[in-house]
Structure 1
């Protein structure tokens, strides 16, 4: 079972300098690649000079997360791709529990346990111990619901591996054959939630998505766009609507989209009351972006659907109203 570790970089020389040594030191079972998304800093020169064992692929433009990986992975031959953020520190033996899982042909995607580099006892926002979505497409994780993040006390160590709905793009292992069959990430997302969309399409095919808590990595998070960045808010809200339009079963499509859009409105008002008018405007723009691409995304709907996509009907209600 061959594996390629593929790190996407855009003007991230400092991150590469800090985190790449751990990847090189603890990755003897795989070739390491860095895909440069047309950086304007000296990332490529730094890599060539300091990491001769790392293969560098240069994209001609900043293609975002989705396009950057789709373009580069055409040139990488492996059975399994590990798509790894440039702000992730890996640990000794991190690959050992994960790669054997792909010996089961039904397994398509795996993530390790993802913890916070800045607060190592806690889970990290982007993935924690594996992700789910509620009926209305709001993502949450084992170990993280909205901005509430749990300390890792081993509460998600069993079962191992554990079936999840989506794996984090911060450290995303995917069977290369499945990735190619599904056409890779949806490049119209550009960045944010494209990994959830891909996992949903994996489920449509009847394949498995797993978390392997025996493997741990540490993620900084927000190194490219912080949580308070309106661009990130825009992409998250718009792309969540795109994902629902593409993947919801026919009988649930319009009613679920309507409720979700009402909840987005509530979120926008909450941003305003918090003194964050730029985030409110980002939500408004996200909806107009969704309207403009509605029919384009509707054409992407599959012929068969994974209907049991949620375990919790409304994580918004349970968290903010029921205080659970």
Structure 2
């Protein structure tokens, strides 16, 4: 098993969190794949962490291609059965890894699993909260909007043990993702057209369509800083989220579902852009419009990707799907926590 950390100018995170990763690696090979950092990350790893295997990319390839190339190097040089994609700004805990690996070993149908993700913070109250990226397992609503148990939009729940279970989910976070090597390579890894953001949702959706399962395991916990490489308020992140969200449903919705989903997504995205504009966030509003224009101009490329991994499961056949509208539930009806969502609207797949 290889624990692979993709790094770009993340010296402070490597210095802070890599010692804990090494201490709790449970025999796994720890790898840092560097995306042409301009800080002294590479020098730090070579000097302070000689046990770490270092892979150096010549340019910044982004999250998707950076991981794809790193795991291809590992695939050709070693016979790893499992990969862990681990963000550089994640603090692992004792015994975080063995139960995740045991789940995959005991259930051959499961191709990927994530642990519980909580906030990294010096504040005790904040540290008890779920973290935005992954929380208690990833879900989708009927229009493909992602959310988590423990996190609806930017509203976070406190961990009181309510999500200590294990279950299939629609998607598992790329902040800390254990995946079978065979499944990863069969899916051709992450779709590089995403560059970053929602790429793990796309991967998990393709895994489900290919007959695999994706799980959440609540008996393992890690702590994620979040926004360690790109701030939430960054217009470029707004652009990537809206562009990739639209591409996500275009690639993975069935032919019967696609027209209705696309029309509703476009309308809601335009409402979101108008809301950003009225709040004075002009750059973010423009980012939404640029995202739509990009998808429209590159529709043939998305069509090719859709044909490569044809959508197979209808929305009511996919685990971890809320058959209502999360946007309506959250903004119109004031549903601010996962338990407030109607249980009747979750599919039984």
* Residue 245 (str. 1) matches residue 247 (str. 2): no
Report the more deviating stretch, 134-143 or 83-92.
134-143
Where in structure 2 are the equivalents of 1:218-237 lying within 5 Å? 218-237=223-242
Q: 2:69 aligns with which of 68, 71, 76?
A: 71
Report the more deviating stretch, 66-75 or 269-278.
269-278
* Residue 113 (str. 1) matches residue 92 (str. 2): no
* Residue 30 (str. 1) matches residue 35 (str. 2): no
Please say if residues 8 and 36 of structure 2, whose CA atoms lie closer than 8 Å, have aligned partners that are also in contact.
yes
Quote the offset at 1:304 in angstroms. 4.7
Partner of 1:10: 8
Quote the offset at 1:313 in angstroms. 2.2
Unaligned runs of 5+ in 1: none
Where in structure 2 are the equivalents of 1:215-294 lying within 5 Å? 215-294=220-299
Quote the offset at 1:299 in angstroms. 1.7
TM-score, scaled relative to structure 2: 0.90
User: Partner of 1:6: helix, strand, or coil?
Assistant: strand
Q: 1:206 aligns with which of 203, 208, 211?
A: 211
Quote the offset at 1:284 in angstroms. 0.7
Distance in 2 between the 1:225 and 1:44 partners?
A: 20
Quote the offset at 1:29 in angstroms. 2.4
Quote the offset at 1:319 in angstroms. 0.8
User: Partner of 2:58: helix, strand, or coil?
Assistant: coil
* Residue 184 (str. 1) matches residue 189 (str. 2): yes
Report the more deviating stretch, 306-315 or 121-130.
306-315
Partner of 2:98: 96
Please say if residues 89 and 226 of structure 2, whose CA atoms lie closer than 8 Å, have aligned partners that are also in contact.
yes
* Residue 175 (str. 1) matches residue 180 (str. 2): yes
Distance in 2 between the 1:191 and 1:60 partners?
A: 18
Deviation digits for residues 94-145 of structure 1 (CA, Å, limit 9, x no counterpart): 0121111111210101000000002210000000011011111111000000
Partner of 1:48: 46
User: Partner of 1:202: helix, strand, or coil?
Assistant: helix
Quote the offset at 1:28 in angstroms. 2.6
Partner of 1:142: 149
TM-score, scaled relative to structure 1: 0.97
Report the more deviating stretch, 310-319 or 256-265.
310-319
User: Partner of 2:31: helix, strand, or coil?
Assistant: strand
Distance in 2 between the 1:39 and 1:162 partners?
A: 37
Distance in 1 between the 2:160 and 2:279 partners?
A: 32
Quote the offset at 1:270 in angstroms. 1.2
Distance in 2 between the 1:29 and 1:166 partners?
A: 27
- Which segments of structure 1 move beyond 2 Å, counting only runs of 4 or more? 308-313
Partner of 2:325: 314
Report how many residues are paired: 320
User: Partner of 2:170: helix, strand, or coil?
Assistant: coil
Distance in 1 between the 2:263 and 2:13 partners?
A: 41
Distance in 2 between the 1:72 and 1:191 partners?
A: 16
* Residue 62 (str. 1) matches residue 60 (str. 2): yes
Quote the offset at 1:303 in angstroms. 3.4
